[in-house]
């Protein structure tokens, strides 16, 4: 049981405890430290339904964990049966060999979904994750019959109870009690801090295809839509019929009639989505899926043909299926290639987008629209796609101008596109990585087939450390992403770069992507809260918060340490050590921040950074104009010097004990500035804020002699006194972000850097000290 009333689960209790530790009279954690201590698995726990602890469950099959959460319901084997059972008030588990667009309405009615075939990128997996429905796919032991399923020698008839755990990929026979957890208020407080930290750095968006999905995504903190997959808009019965009419059209008139109906339908969809996301960006990806996905499966048609049951319409559909057949359709006629071969399709979608945006503006809305061209492999494709967009916009009669509302970008999904990122960036307003397809093509794997057969064995034999479709492969695919980011920003320094797909909701992948310099990540709505946390944790870790081993940087003893004395007195080797040490303290930093920290001229600092770059000890991230140590650089720093001499250690240790007492007081003051009455401070009470600033000034006066004592032991630490004084003066004068702001030279930033520097010098294990 939890120590906190009303919070019985351990993950919820841990979340509550983290926030309460920031609210104690003498806080034991700052908000930043609480964020770093929060386990993303605990967040996932509270967001999804779970089986009750005492639920009795018999496992009958195991597949892939396509969409997390627990569900229990009666077994149905068709979309129609799911609709009927749900309408009668029953909980439903829909089991199919694999799902198709014809199943979508039934899937929406289901409490859980199971397929015998497919992988994590299958139709069933994508739709289930988008709607937050628990799902297990690729359960190969399940044989789907007409009115039952068979697992081994056991037959389970329709109407029997099944239960599934979409987080583990497990299917159970029988009913089970399901428990839902309401996220505690403390989680929202933590994520509010995360958003504040990530503001203006990296935003979290959602992959959403309907107004309902968009509204839900916004309610859980998404800052826009990073991927609206227009093919999913065609999955409902009326839209599917129109699209099939377009596919089967024999002449231009019939094609135009089908497109006119689709344009009106899409315009209504887009208008509703733009309304749900008013004021926030919506990235609309033009049709990506190959056309055969919108037709019946060939197996059913061929069976009907053999039985003599096909009418003229059925034979027409079968002829189209045969015509559109490709050996490997996922690298065939899809995306921009489809737009080239069916040139009326993309202009129809652009007209629908423009009409919807214009309607929203007329209604007083503020739509922000990004049109994404999928499967680009060459900049010439973007040139022709932009001409289609421009022509369609010009041909769309609207009462308002849309030039500043609509942007056109390229989706980087092929290795060739990643290698040509600079050329593509020159003709795109933004780029967005589709890491699911990029992983497939970089590895040369079919995801659905690999996840069902090969990958489990590769993981078991440790040929791969992780499923590359779940956690981004940093050594291969990640290198393509990093190279493409750097190349694209070299062509256009202000280019917006996003990532969409499952990796954008995986904390480990997000950490790497943030380091690459992306501006946004877009994941399923059900993972938005996890992504918000992961982005903040990545930024905090990049600032540098790990424990450290001893290092000696006592380069001289003159207390009058300045830029001039530093450049005049230190040789190149000493300057290199200082710059290396500054990077270790700051984690991520622009050149100016490093120079300020160590008191070196910008030119000197730049030369030393270039030296570290050449040695493989540092890397430069053009996307943010930031420097950081490489893993080799961190190891080099750790082993650089054995430690301070005994006299310097003695001189540091005594004032350091005083500093720790003052540190506790400073942490409490920061918390009171950020929080008030157990809620975020809205800074509307001028008297309250003024009192906090007065106390900051008083604390700074108390800190002066302590920092001076540090400088007496290691003279370069005197620079912290100058920086703390400047930050305090500016904060008290009205630049309040310089109180607790992150990565902006705030008093909190400088204080944390000083503390980190002291820990490094003294060889203290921060986790044992518990002072952060």
Q: What is the CATH number of the domain that holds 162?
A: 3.50.30.10
Residues facing 61 on adjacent strands: 171
Last residue of a domain, one of 120, 148, 173: 173
Q: In terms of domains, do 650 and 756 share one? A: yes
- Is the residue at 385 inside a domain? no
**Token pair listed for 769:** 């000290």
d(CA 698, CA 444): 63
In a domain, 134, yes or no: yes
Is pLDDT at 649 greater than 80 in this prediction? no
Same domain, yes or no, for 577 and 652?
A: no
Residues 656 and 764 in one domain: yes
Would 743 be classed as within a structural domain? yes
Does 715 score more than 60 pLDDT? yes
Let me know whether 601 and 687 are in one domain: no
Q: Which of 25-34, 474-483, 617-626 has the highest mean pLDDT?
A: 474-483
Q: Mean pLDDT, to the nearest integer, of 657-666?
A: 90
Q: Is residue 600 part of a domain?
A: yes
Beta bridge partners of 371: 284, 408
Residue-level pLDDT at 551: 26
Alpha carbons 146 and 205: distance in angstroms, whole number: 41
DSSP H or E stretch at residue 165: strand 161-165
Residue 655 domain-assigned (yes or no): yes
Q: Which residue has the higher pLDDT, 306 or 700?
A: 700
Catalytic residue, chosen from 7, 48, 109, 123, is: 123
> Is residue 627 over pLDDT 70?
yes
Specify whether the CB–CB gap between 638 and 699 falls below 8 A: no
Q: How far apart are CA 769 and CA 772, in angstroms?
A: 8
The catalytic residue among 109, 354, 500, 670 is 500
* Same domain (yes/no): 613, 685: no
Which pLDDT score is estimated for 502?
86
Active site residue 500: yes
pLDDT (tens digit per residue) in 221-272: 999 999 999 988 887 777 888 888 888 888 888 889 989 999 999 999 999 9
Query: What is the pLDDT averaged over residues 90-105?
Result: 87
Q: Please confirm, yes or no, whether 461 is among the known catalytic residues.
A: no
Output the pLDDT for position 420. Answer: 96
* 717 and 654, same domain (yes or no): yes
Which pLDDT belongs to residue 717? 87
Does the structure show a pLDDT above 80 at 344? yes
- Pair 632, 663 in one domain: no
The answer, as to whether pTM is greater than 0.75, is no
654 and 760 belong to one structural domain: yes
According to DSSP, the residues that pair with 431 across neighbouring strands are 410, 497
DSSP for 25-57? SS-SS-HHHHHHH--HHHHHHHHS-EE-TT---
703 in Cβ contact with 662 (< 8 Å) = yes
By DSSP bridging, strand 675-676 and strand 679-680 are antiparallel
Question: Rounded CA gap, 460 and 464, in Å?
Answer: 8
As a whole number, the mean pLDDT across the chain is 85
Question: What pLDDT is stored for residue 562 in this prediction?
Answer: 41
Q: Which of 113, 138, 173 is the last residue of a domain?
A: 173
Q: Which of 603, 619, 638 is the last residue of a domain?
A: 638
Please tell me whether residues 763 and 650 are part of one structural domain.
yes
Residue 531 in any domain: the answer is no
Q: Please report which confidence band the pLDDT of residue 307 belongs to, taking 50, 70 and 90 as the band edges.
A: confident
Q: Does the residue 43 lie in any domain?
A: no
pLDDT digits (tens, 9 = 90+) for 51-75: 876 656 889 999 988 888 899 999 9
Distance CA 243, CA 260 (A): 11
Domain CATH code at residue 613: 1.10.10.10
Distances in Å between the Cα of 565 and the Cα atoms of 85, 562, 570, 644, 715 are 81, 5, 8, 22, 11
Is residue 90 in a domain?
A: yes
Parent domain of 738: 646-769
Q: How many domains does the chain have?
A: 3
Regarding whether 169 and 63 lie in a shared domain, the answer is yes
Whether residues 650 and 765 share a domain: the answer is yes
Q: Does residue 763 sit in the same domain as residue 654?
A: yes
Predicted local confidence at residue 674, as pLDDT: 82
Q: How many Å apart are CA 524 and CA 104, to the nearest integer?
A: 17
Task: Tell me the residue length of the chain.
Answer: 772
């Amino acid at each position: 049981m939890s120590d906190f009333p009303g919070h019985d689960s351990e993950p919820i209790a841990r979340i509550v405890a983290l926030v309460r530790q920031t609210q104690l009279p003498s806080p034991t954690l700052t908000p930043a430290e609480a964020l770093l201590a929060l386990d993303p698995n605990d967040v996932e726990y509270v967001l999804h339904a779970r089986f009750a602890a005492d639920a009795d469950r018999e496992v009958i099959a195991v597949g892939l964990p396509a969409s997390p959460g627990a569900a229990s319901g009666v077994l149905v084997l068709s979309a129609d049966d799911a609709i009927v059972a749900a309408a009668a008030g029953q909980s439903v588990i829909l089991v199919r060999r694999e799902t198709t667009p014809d199943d979508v309405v039934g899937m929406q009615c289901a409490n859980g979904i199971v397929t015998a075939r497919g992988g994590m990128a299958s139709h069933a997996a994508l739709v289930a994750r988008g709607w937050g429905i628990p799902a297990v796919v690729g359960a190969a032991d399940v044989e789907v019959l007409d009115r039952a399923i068979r697992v081994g020698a056991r037959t389970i008839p329709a109407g029997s109870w099944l239960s599934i755990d979409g987080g583990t990929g497990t299917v159970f026979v029988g009913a089970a009690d399901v428990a839902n957890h309401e996220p505690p208020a403390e989680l929202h407080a933590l994520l509010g801090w995360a958003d504040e930290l990530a503001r203006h750095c990296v935003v979290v968006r959602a992959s959403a295809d309907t107004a309902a999905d968009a509204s839900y995504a916004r309610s859980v903190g998404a800052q826009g839509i990073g991927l609206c997959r227009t093919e999913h808009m065609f999955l409902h019965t009326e839209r599917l019929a129109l699209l099939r009419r377009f596919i089967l059209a024999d002449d231009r008139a019939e094609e135009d009639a089908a497109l006119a109906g689709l344009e009106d339908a899409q315009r209504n969809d887009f208008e509703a989505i733009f309304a749900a996301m008013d004021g926030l960006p919506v990235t609309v990806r033009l049709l990506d899926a190959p056309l055969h996905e919108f037709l019946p499966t060939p197996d059913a048609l061929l069976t009907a043909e053999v039985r003599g049951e096909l009418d003229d319409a059925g034979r027409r559909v079968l002829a189209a299926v045969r015509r559109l057949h490709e050996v490997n359709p996922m690298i065939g006629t899809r995306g921009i290639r489809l737009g080239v071969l069916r040139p009326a399709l993309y202009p129809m979608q652009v007209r629908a987008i423009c009409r919807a945006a214009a309607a929203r503006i007329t209604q007083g809305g503020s739509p922000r629209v990004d049109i994404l061209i999928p499967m680009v492999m060459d900049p010439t494709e973007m040139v022709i796609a932009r001409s289609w967009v421009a022509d369609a916009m010009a041909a769309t009669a609207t009462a308002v101008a849309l030039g500043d509302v609509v942007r056109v970008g390229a989706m980087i999904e092929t290795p060739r596109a990643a290698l040509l990122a600079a050329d593509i960036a020159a003709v795109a307003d933004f780029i967005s990585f589709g890491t699911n397809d990029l992983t497939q093509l970089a590895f040369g794997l079919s995801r659905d087939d690999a996840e069902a057969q090969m990958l489990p064995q590769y993981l078991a034999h440790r040929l791969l450390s992780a499923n590359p479709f779940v956690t981004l492969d940093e050594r291969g695919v990640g290198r393509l992403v990093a190279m493409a980011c750097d190349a694209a920003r070299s062509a256009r320094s202000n280019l917006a770069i996003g990532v969409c797909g499952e990796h954008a909701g995986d904390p480990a992948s997000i950490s790497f992507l943030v380091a690459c310099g992306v501006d946004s990540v877009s994941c399923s709505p059900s993972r938005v809260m996890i992504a918000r946390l992961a982005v903040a944790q990545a930024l905090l870790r990049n600032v540098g918060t790990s424990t450290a081993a001893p290092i000696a940087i006592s380069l001289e003893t003159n207390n009058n340490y300045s830029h001039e004395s530093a450049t005049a007195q230190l040789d190149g080797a000493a300057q290199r050590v200082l710059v290396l040490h500054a990077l270790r303290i700051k984690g991520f930093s622009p050149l100016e921040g490093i120079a300020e920290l160590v008191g070196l001229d910008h030119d000197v600092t730049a030369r030393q950074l270039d030296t570290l770059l050449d040695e493989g000890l540092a890397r430069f991230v053009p996307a943010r104009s930031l420097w950081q140590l490489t893993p080799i650089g961190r190891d080099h720093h750790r082993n650089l010097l054995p430690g301070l001499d005994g006299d310097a250690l003695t001189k540091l240790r005594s004032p350091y004990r005083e500093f720790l007492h003052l540190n506790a007081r400073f942490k409490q003051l920061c918390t009171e500035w950020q929080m008030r009455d157990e809620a975020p401070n809205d800074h509307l009470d001028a008297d309250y804020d003024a009192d906090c600033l007065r106390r900051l000034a008083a604390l700074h006066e108390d800190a002066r002699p302590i920092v001076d004592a540090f400088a007496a032991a290691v003279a370069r630490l005197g620079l912290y006194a100058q920086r703390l004084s400047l930050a305090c003066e500016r904060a008290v004068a009205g630049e309040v972000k310089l109180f607790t702001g992150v990565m902006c030279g705030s008093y909190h930033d400088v204080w944390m850097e000083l503390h980190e520097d002291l820990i490094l010098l003294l060889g203290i294990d921060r986790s044992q000290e518990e002072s952060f």
